[in-house]
C-alpha cells in the first residue's frame, strides 16, 4: 500500500515470522483464575482472533480514561461513584480479556508475532489508564508525585520488553507478586472509593496529621507511602532485571544497558517542565509522556522480533525536550497550545508507524488482525478448528 512506511526490511520480516514468544511464569493467583479464563475462552467462537479479544477488553479503558479528563481534570477531587465503579469494571474486564486472548490463541492454534505486539502494546497503553485511575483517587496530589507515580508504573513495562530482548523471556511477575496481583491492588482502593463515596474519600485524602519532625501539618502519609513503595518496587525490578541480563550475557549484558538510556532521559525530562504549565496542563504532559514511553516500548518489541538494533538515540526525545524548553521560553498562553500540538502530531505519527508495521506483518504472515484465516493455517501447517 502506498501509505505504508517501509519500517521493516524483508529480512526483518523473516525474523518476525520465526519469532517465538516466551512468557513469564504464572503466580498462585494466576493459577486460581486460570480456570475462569479458560472457561471464557471455551465459550468464544473459534473464528474470533486473539487480537480482537485484546481490543475488546482495551476499549472500555480508553473510554473511562477520556471521561476522567473531563470529570477530574486537575486530580484535585475525588471521583464520583459511577466513575470509580466504571474504572474498576474496565480494569477488571481488560485484565480478564488480556488473559483470555492467550488461551484463545492456543485453543485455535493462531498464535502470531502480531499478537505479541498487540498484546503488550495494549499493556503499555493500559499503564497510562492505570496511572490516571491511581492519581484520581490519591487526590489532591502534588504533580511531582503524580509524575513520580507515572515513572513507577510505566518504566517497569518498558523494562519487561528490554528484559525479553536481552534475556529471552518476558517477565510478568516478581516472585509471588505478578501483574494480576498488582492490578487487583490497584482496583481495591478504587472500589473502596466507590463504596464510601466521594465526600468521605475526599475527607480521608485531605486529612492532616501533626508530626514532631515536620514544621507544619501534612496530609495522611498513606498517599506518599504508597507512591514511595511503588517507586521502590520499580527500582527493585530495574536492578533485578539488570542483574539477570548482565549475569547471563556478561559484557554483552552490560552493553545492553545503553538501551535503557532513552527511558532514563525521558524520566529526567519529565521533572523539568515549567511549574505553571504543570499546574495548567498536567494531564496533557502525562499523555505526551505516556505516548513517548509507549513509542519506545513498541520499538523495543518490534525490533526484538525483527532481530535488528534498538535505536537508543531517539529523535522523539528531541521533540519532548523542545516542548519542555518551550514551557520555560514561552508564556503559558502559548506554551500550552504548543504542548497540545506536539502531543497531537506525535500521536498521529505514532499511529501511522504502528499501522505500517501491522500491515507489513500481516502481509508477511498472510493473516488478518481480527479474524483467523485459512491462509495462515495453511502456511504454518496448523489445523484450523471448525
Point out the least confidently predicted range of 131-145, 176-190, 220-234, 281-295: 220-234
Determine the topology of domain 10-380 in CATH: 1.20.120
The size of the chain, in residues, is 386
Q: Tens of pLDDT along 40-77?
A: 999 999 888 899 999 999 999 999 999 998 898 888 88
Grid coordinates given for 46: 473459534
Q: Tens of pLDDT along 317-346?
A: 999 999 999 999 999 999 999 999 999 999
pTM of this structure: 0.87
Grid coordinates given for 5: 512506511
Residue scoring higher pLDDT (142 or 212): 142
| Burial (0-12, 13-18, 19+ Cβ within 10 Å), 285 | buried
> Among 302, 365, 361, which Cα is nearest to 164's?
302
Given the residues 15, 19, 120, 377, the one annotated as active site: 120
Q: Residue 254's pLDDT band (boundaries 50, 70, 90)?
A: low
Which residue in the block uniquely carries the three cell numbers 480482537?
A: 52
Q: Based on the residue annotation, tell me whether 144 is a catalytic residue of this protein.
A: no
CA–CA–CA angle 174, 178, 183 (5° rounding): 140
Q: What are the structural domain ranges in the chain? A: 10-380
Amino acid at each position: 500500500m502506498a501509505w505504508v512506511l517501509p519500517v521493516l526490511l524483508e529480512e526483518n520480516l523473516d525474523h518476525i515470522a520465526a519469532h517465538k514468544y516466551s512468557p513469564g511464569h504464572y503466580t498462585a493467583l494466576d493459577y486460581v483464575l486460570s480456570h475462569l479464563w479458560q472457561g471464557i475462552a471455551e465459550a468464544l467462537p473459534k473464528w474470533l482472533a486473539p487480537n480482537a479479544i485484546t481490543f475488546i477488553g482495551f476499549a472500555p479503558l480508553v473510554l473511562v480514561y477520556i471521561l476522567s479528563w473531563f470529570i477530574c481534570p486537575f486530580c484535585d477531587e475525588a471521583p464520583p461513584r459511577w466513575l470509580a465503579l466504571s474504572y474498576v469494571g474496565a480494569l477488571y474486564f481488560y485484565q480478564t480479556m488480556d488473559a483470555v486472548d492467550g488461551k484463545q490463541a492456543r485453543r485455535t492454534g493462531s498464535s502470531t508475532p502480531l499478537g505479541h505486539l498487540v498484546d503488550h502494546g495494549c499493556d503499555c497503553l493500559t499503564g497510562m489508564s492505570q496511572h490516571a485511575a491511581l492519581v484520581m483517587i490519591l487526590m489532591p496530589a502534588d504533580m511531582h508525585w503524580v509524575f513520580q507515580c507515572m515513572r513507577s508504573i510505566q518504566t517497569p513495562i518498558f523494562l519487561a520488553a528490554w528484559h525479553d530482548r536481552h534475556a529471552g523471556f518476558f517477565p510478568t511477575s516478581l516472585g509471588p507478586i505478578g501483574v494480576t496481583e498488582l492490578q487487583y491492588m490497584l482496583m481495591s482502593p478504587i472500589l473502596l472509593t466507590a463504596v464510601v463515596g466521594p465526600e468521605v474519600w475526599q475527607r480521608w485524602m485531605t486529612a492532616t496529621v501533626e508530626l514532631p519532625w515536620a514544621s507544619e501539618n501534612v496530609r495522611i502519609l498513606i498517599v506518599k507511602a504508597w507512591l514511595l513503595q511503588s517507586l521502590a518496587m520499580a527500582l527493585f525490578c530495574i536492578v533485578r532485571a539488570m542483574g539477570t541480563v548482565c549475569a547471563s550475557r556478561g559484557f554483552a549484558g552490560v552493553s545492553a544497558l545503553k538501551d535503557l538510556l532513552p527511558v532514563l532521559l525521558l524520566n529526567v525530562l519529565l521533572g523539568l517542565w515549567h511549574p505553571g504549565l504543570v499546574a495548567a496542563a498536567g494531564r496533557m504532559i502525562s499523555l505526551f509522556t505516556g505516548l513517548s514511553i509507549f513509542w519506545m516500548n513498541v520499538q523495543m518489541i518490534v525490533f526484538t522480533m525483527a532481530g535488528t538494533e534498538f535505536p537508543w538515540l531517539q529523535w522523539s526525545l528531541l521533540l519532548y525536550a523542545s516542548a519542555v524548553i518551550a514551557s520555560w521560553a514561552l508564556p503559558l498562553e502559548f506554551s500550552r497550545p504548543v504542548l497540545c500540538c506536539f502531543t497531537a502530531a506525535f500521536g498521529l505519527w505514532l499511529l501511522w508507524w504502528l499501522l505500517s508495521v501491522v500491515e507489513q506483518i500481516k502481509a508477511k504472515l498472510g493473516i488478518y488482525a481480527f479474524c483467523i484465516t485459512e491462509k495462515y493455517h495453511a502456511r504454518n501447517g496448523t489445523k484450523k478448528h471448525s
